């Protein structure tokens, strides 16, 4: 079998070695229910709270403010439905993940007014646009920290100040930011903050929601008194242990890893963008997470490029993995002002802990080869046939 290279870490990450070891050990050695009072239950409770402390430390918050969930989608839903009620007004943006946009659409059906603020052409949502959208009944502003397709980072601190001045709460979808950025939630000013384990080299199916102390949420699930009555259901202790181990790794190694990823990303971008003037970067070049490049190849189908690279052994993406299979162009890129053709000609490269400089160089070669091959076949370049 030929060698394969993974450059789709924004979709999901490979489970880290230390995380896998912690996960399998918990599966094997911690059989109890964390709500039980006997020895096995108390051991499970200790492991659960250890994971909570590790996640809290990564975010610079109190462990009491961490609610474990099944992932980013549930955390986003809990934040939105936990605060918004019929008759109130919610502000979000046109570049959010479907895990925010679709709950907002459902909230509208339940009598909540929703305003979707458009980004600037560079993918950044202007704080003044949030300010202009505020109403007397605005209860919640929901803005992602870093975009899953472009990697563009939003001015969360300024948006938090604007929201709080108007008496509104701020929810931040931090699924693509945690680890890739040094996240200090008190400094950001978020009241609610979502994260997902499988973006951090933890397993799929576990995540967390930060809930500012004193903030009351209406739960999505009703049952026992788990997670301080904020999320009913027996906790997935092995997955929480794994998430805690991943959080600890990022807490100890994040600064070095972010610098390494930024260097690899720049190496990739500079090489690809130098090929010719028909290749462009989508999104702000500076206000980005260090691992993400969204590149537009004029006249080339993004799906064709993904397939061509896959045949060469490289996994990349033409957009959000949660929207794969959709025939529509990326709603993120369209919201930024690209037309449908431009949006469909864009590719996301997202690097991670397993990638090396040699792999990046191999990806550049494969991308350039695929580009020239597809360009010869593209009707946009009939003169080159």
Tokens at residue 255, please? 């600064």
Q: For position 328, what pLDDT does the model report?
A: 81
**Radius of gyration of the CA atoms of the chain, in A:** 21
**Residue 124 contacts residue 284 (beta carbons within 8 Å):** yes
Q: For position 74, what pLDDT does the model report?
A: 98
Tokens at residue 169, please? 């709460």
Catalogue the active-site residues.
Answer: 322
Q: For position 366, what pLDDT does the model report?
A: 98
3-state SS, residue 290: coil
Q: For position 2, what pLDDT does the model report?
A: 74
**Residue 140 contacts residue 83 (beta carbons within 8 Å):** yes
Angle among Cα 31, 32, 36 to the nearest 5 degrees reads 175
Each of the 385 residues of the chain gets a pLDDT tens digit; together they read 478 999 999 999 999 999 999 999 999 999 999 999 999 999 999 999 999 999 999 999 999 999 999 999 999 999 999 999 999 999 999 999 999 999 999 999 999 999 999 999 999 999 999 999 999 999 999 999 999 999 999 999 999 999 999 999 999 999 999 999 999 999 999 999 999 999 999 999 999 999 999 999 999 999 999 999 999 999 999 999 999 999 999 999 999 999 999 999 999 999 999 999 999 999 999 999 999 999 999 999 999 999 999 999 999 998 655 555 555 899 999 999 999 999 999 999 999 999 999 999 999 999 999 999 999 988 888 654 4
Where are the CATH 3.40.640.10 domain residues in the chain? Answer: 17-249
Where are the CATH 3.90.1150.10 domain residues in the chain? Answer: 5-13+254-384
First to last CA, the chain: 34
Task: Please give the class, per CATH, of domain 17-249.
Answer: alpha beta
- Cα–Cα distance, 159 to 167 (Å, whole number): 12
Q: For position 385, what pLDDT does the model report?
A: 42
Q: For position 268, what pLDDT does the model report?
A: 98
Q: For position 1, what pLDDT does the model report?
A: 43
pTM of the entire structure?
A: 0.96
What stretches of 212-311 adopt beta strand conformation (E)? 279-281, 292-297
In the numeric block, the tokens 């045949």 are attached to 311
Tell whether the torsion through CA atoms of 25, 31, 33 and 38 is positive or negative: negative
- Cα–Cα distance, 77 to 72 (Å, whole number): 9
Overall fold of domain 5-13+254-384: 3.90.1150
Neighbours of 23 (CB within 10 A): 23
Q: For position 321, what pLDDT does the model report?
A: 53
- Cα–Cα distance, 287 to 143 (Å, whole number): 15
């Amino acid at each position: 079998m030929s060698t394969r290279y993974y450059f789709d870490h924004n979709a999901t990450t490979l489970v880290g070695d230390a995380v896998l070891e912690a996960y399998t050990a918990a599966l094997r050695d911690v059989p109890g229910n964390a709500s039980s009072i006997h020895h096995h239950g108390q051991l499970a409770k200790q492991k659960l709270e250890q994971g909570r402390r590790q996640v809290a430390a990564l975010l610079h918050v109190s462990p009491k403010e961490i609610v474990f969930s099944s992932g980013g989608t549930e955390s986003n839903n809990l934040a939105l439905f936990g605060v918004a009620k019929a008759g109130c007004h919610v502000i979000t943006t046109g570049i959010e993940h479907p895990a925010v946009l679709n709950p907002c659409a459902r909230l509208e059906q339940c009598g909540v007014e929703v305003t979707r603020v458009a980004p600037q052409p560079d993918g950044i949502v202007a704080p003044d646009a949030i300010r202009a959208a505020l109403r007397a009944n605005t209860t919640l502003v929901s803005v992602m920290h870093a975009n899953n397709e472009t990697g563009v980072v939003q001015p969360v601190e300024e948006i938090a100040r604007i929201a709080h001045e108007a008496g509104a709460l701020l929810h931040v979808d931090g699924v693509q930011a945690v680890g890739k950025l040094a996240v200090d939630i008190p400094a950001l000013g978020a009241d609610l903050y979502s994260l997902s384990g499988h973006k951090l080299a933890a397993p799929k199916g576990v995540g967390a929601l930060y809930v500012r102390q004193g903030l009351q949420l209406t739960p999505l699930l009703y049952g026992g008194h788990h997670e301080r009555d904020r999320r009913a259901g027996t906790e997935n202790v092995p997955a929480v242990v794994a998430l805690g181990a991943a959080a600890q790794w990022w807490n100890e190694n994040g600064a070095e890893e972010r610098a390494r990823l930024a260097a690899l990303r720049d190496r990739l971008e500079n090489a690809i963008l130098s090929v010719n003037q028909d290749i462009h970067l989508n999104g702000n070049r500076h206000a980005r997470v260090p691992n993400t490049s969204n590149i537009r190849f004029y006249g080339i189908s993004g799906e064709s490029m993904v397939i061509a690279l896959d045949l060469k052994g490289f996994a990349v993406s033409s957009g959000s993995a949660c929207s794969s299979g959709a025939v529509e162009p990326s709603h993120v890129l369209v919201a930024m002002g690209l037309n449908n053709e431009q949006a469909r000609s864009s590719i996301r490269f997202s690097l991670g802990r397993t990638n090396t400089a040699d792999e990046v160089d191999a990806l550049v070669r494969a991308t350039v080869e695929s580009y020239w091959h597809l360009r010869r076949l593209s009707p946009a370049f009939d003169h080159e046939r």
